[in-house]
Chains A and B, each alone.
Chain A
Amino acid sequence: MKNFDKYFDEIIGTLQITRVERERYKESLKNSITRWRIKGLLGKDEIPDTGGKLIWNWKMSQDKDMVIQMVSSVSKRIFNYRRKIFGLKDTGPNKTYIAHMVNELMKEGMPIFYPNPELIDRFFRDGEIE
């Protein structure tokens, strides 16, 4: 995989992720390519098209992982703020419920978008990846 960094940059585009996340995403993409080759979805030395179905599939899966990370972060933030709010004092935020609300928010209000509508359905259905 020569020029993998260039190829990876093209896929990531303008997404702003940290250095650590970038490394994790890169590793994930490399592993996914190996998996797709084993599954026969790609040829031996073939790499998927940067705007193709497989790459969007991978992006959707990464998004699901990042949403889990976001829910964790939001839960912590709510936990820290509830002690400053009279009406919320001594109540515990429920991470599962927050995850549900974030998921709902991504249907309306902050809708998630992929070029392939089937992928949007899959994001909310079960998120199964190739």
Chain B
Amino acid sequence: MHKRQLQYFLKSCYLGGEIGSVIWEYKSKSKKLITRFITGNKELLGYVSCNSLYDFSNDTETKLELDWNKGKDFKIGIYDLEQLKKMISILDDTELKIELDMYKDRAVSMVINDGYSSMKYMCSDLSVINKPPLMQNIPDFQTLIFTLKDSKKKFSAGYKVFESDTFFCVLENKKSKDKGLDEIVFSIGYNNKIPTNRVDVCFGSPLIGLDNKEHFYNSKLVVKIFEILDMFGVVSTMLISNQGLALISNDKKHAPTNETKYGIRYDYYFVELNV
């Protein structure tokens, strides 16, 4: 696997420090490297998978046949994700040779070699890492939003203005004088009880099917995900459900324009906040 692809995978589950420990699992049958994680406050559940090997020299993808454990299945417990991320950043920008030292079905250590220098990362017991719940009863999503570059940028800038406001509200733009009439706006700093300073960022999609209730989500986490989307530079979709769940995904089943870059697929589920 190329260093850059490994870094993209790492960053997608590290989320700028929101996630500290993860388990990576490789299944030789499906040829996927997958990880699931949950934040400490149980607000975000993530599913990231690497589905193919990316060749950066000619922009092609091949099947993910990892020989880290001689082609067999494996699970790696990564206790300190931040340290692994920093360690890998030292290596040369090239194809990496990765080998696991196994004890029974558990990886004890991982040796990563760039052909010039090598490093050893001690893997942890899988049992010391919190395992997130399986996604069951995924509700129907009513509204679909395309995460456009301009909107993401404005939202991130807006978030920085309102540091103390950690949430935003999904609303419909009803002001005829504003751009994006009848479209979805993410209102940072919104308060339904008192007039406050707020920034409404238009996301260019109509609000369909969402009920009249106010739907609040965590701004900080959404900004972190937007940073990941910017890193891949592809359009993904954000889906919002009336049942209190939102999803940011690059799965094609949600929209044909969704793209998978560098073989990495992601689903980030957010729980609605009770404000």
**A residues apposed to B, CB below 8 Å:** 1, 24, 27-28, 30-32, 34-35, 37-40, 61, 64-65, 67-68, 71, 94-97, 99-100, 102-103, 123-130
How far does the alpha carbon of A97 sit from the alpha carbon of B123 in the complex, in Å?
Answer: 9
* Chain A residues whose CB sits within 8 angstroms of the CB of B101 once the complex forms: none
How far does the alpha carbon of A128 sit from the alpha carbon of B271 in the complex, in Å?
Answer: 18
User: Please, which residue of chain B has its CB at the minimum distance from the CB of A130?
Assistant: B133
* Chain B residues whose CB sits within 8 angstroms of the CB of A127 once the complex forms: 127, 129-131
* Chain B residues whose CB sits within 8 angstroms of the CB of A124 once the complex forms: 127
Check B122–A97 contact: CB distance below 8 A: yes
**B residues apposed to A, CB below 8 Å:** 20-21, 38, 40-43, 79-80, 83, 122-134, 136-137, 139, 243-245, 271-274
* Chain B residues whose CB sits within 8 angstroms of the CB of A40 once the complex forms: 137
* Chain B residues whose CB sits within 8 angstroms of the CB of A126 once the complex forms: 126-127, 131
Check A68–B20 contact: CB distance below 8 A: yes
Least CB distance, A24 to chain B, in whole angstroms: 6
Give the one of B38, B42, B123, B125 with max A CB within 10 A: B42
How far does the alpha carbon of A116 sit from the alpha carbon of B105 in the complex, in Å?
Answer: 28
* Chain B residues whose CB sits within 8 angstroms of the CB of A31 once the complex forms: 41-43, 271, 273
Check B43–A64 contact: CB distance below 8 A: no
A125: contacting residue among B127, B271, B274, CB under 8 A:
B127
Least CB distance, A100 to chain B, in whole angstroms: 5
Check A38–B21 contact: CB distance below 8 A: no
User: Please, which residue of chain B has its CB at the minimum distance from the CB of A4?
Assistant: B274
How far does the alpha carbon of A121 sit from the alpha carbon of B38 in the complex, in Å?
Answer: 21
User: Please, which residue of chain B has its CB at the minimum distance from the CB of A62?
Assistant: B40
* Chain B residues whose CB sits within 8 angstroms of the CB of A99 once the complex forms: 79, 124-125, 128
User: Please, which residue of chain A has its CB at the minimum distance from the CB of B21?
Assistant: A68
Check A24–B40 contact: CB distance below 8 A: yes
Q: A31-B271, A68-B20 are in contact. Are A96 and B130 (CB under 8 A)?
A: no
Q: Given known contacts A35-B133, A68-B129, A126-B126, what 7 new A-B pairs fall within 8 Å (CB)?
A: A24-B40, A28-B42, A39-B137, A96-B80, A100-B125, A129-B131, A129-B133
A–B pairs, 11, beta carbons within 8 Å: A1-B274, A31-B42, A38-B244, A39-B133, A64-B129, A68-B21, A96-B123, A99-B125, A126-B127, A126-B131, A128-B134
* Chain A residues whose CB sits within 8 angstroms of the CB of B137 once the complex forms: 38-40
User: Please, which residue of chain B has its CB at the minimum distance from the CB of A129?
Assistant: B133
* Chain B residues whose CB sits within 8 angstroms of the CB of A123 once the complex forms: 127
Check B244–A34 contact: CB distance below 8 A: yes
User: Please, which residue of chain A has its CB at the minimum distance from the CB of B274?
Assistant: A30
Q: Which 10 A-B pairs have the closest CB atoms?
A: A128-B131, A31-B42, A96-B124, A64-B130, A96-B122, A126-B131, A27-B41, A28-B41, A31-B271, A99-B128
Give the one of A27, A40, A67, A130 with max B CB within 10 A: A27
Q: A31-B43, A35-B42, A103-B125 are in contact. Are A128 and B272 (CB under 8 A)?
A: no
Least CB distance, B85 to chain A, in whole angstroms: 15
User: Please, which residue of chain A has its CB at the minimum distance from the CB of B272?
Assistant: A34
* Chain A residues whose CB sits within 8 angstroms of the CB of B136 once the complex forms: 39
User: Please, which residue of chain B has its CB at the minimum distance from the CB of A26?
Assistant: B41
